[in-house]
Copies of this chain bind each other. A is one copy, B any other.
């Protein structure tokens, strides 16, 4: 079955439009996260968002495009949250520590994040790939800058970016999603030490 081509809708430019779109996406986060993509309906999203169906269609041509926009929106929200909490960092290694701490808090407050992002693999693999590839590219550019001014050793920043994303994703799942916030300080300490120093013992070959 060929997918029906959907009309492209421009992102809103007015403050009110941006706010309404965000309100619909927050409702979509709740509905898609709780019900899954297939069982979720546009009418339920509009009810939670307290907007009319007509308003929904101003911003999104169909359910799949709303889902696609939601995954992108959650990526942007995650990045914004981390940026805010790492802005005062004096070095890349400090930013790694603060960023991980922020990510664990974000996951604990957005319990549906993983279900939505992982389900995107089954809705359209392009959404899933794009989500992680965008994070990867951003991460890599930060590592490049840090390696450039000697804050970290030189090395393959693309591979390192994917290593660091993997660490965040798995610690976010294990401790942000499945565990209680009391564990977070210990986890951040241990992970920051690993990221900074690796595992090699001083006198190991």
Chain A residues near B (Cβ < 8 Å) = 36, 90-93, 96, 114-115, 118-119, 121-122, 129, 132, 136, 150-153, 155-156, 159-160, 162-163, 165-171, 173-175, 178, 186-187, 189-191, 193-205
Contacts and interface: CB of A to CB of B under 8 A. Distances in A.
Given A36-B122, A118-B121, A204 B91 contact: yes
Given A159-B194, A162-B170, A166-B171, 11 more contacts: A91-B204, A151-B201, A152-B199, A152-B200, A152-B204, A156-B187, A160-B194, A163-B195, A166-B168, A195-B198, A198-B198
Contacts of A159: 171, 186-187, 190-191, 194
Contacts of A174: 132, 136, 162
Contact of A153 (B170, B187, B197): B197
B151 A204 contact: yes
25 contacts: A90-B205, A91-B204, A91-B205, A93-B200, A115-B122, A132-B170, A150-B204, A152-B199, A152-B200, A152-B204, A155-B194, A156-B186, A156-B189, A159-B186, A159-B187, A159-B191, A160-B190, A160-B194, A160-B199, A162-B171, A163-B167, A165-B170, A166-B166, A166-B170, A169-B170
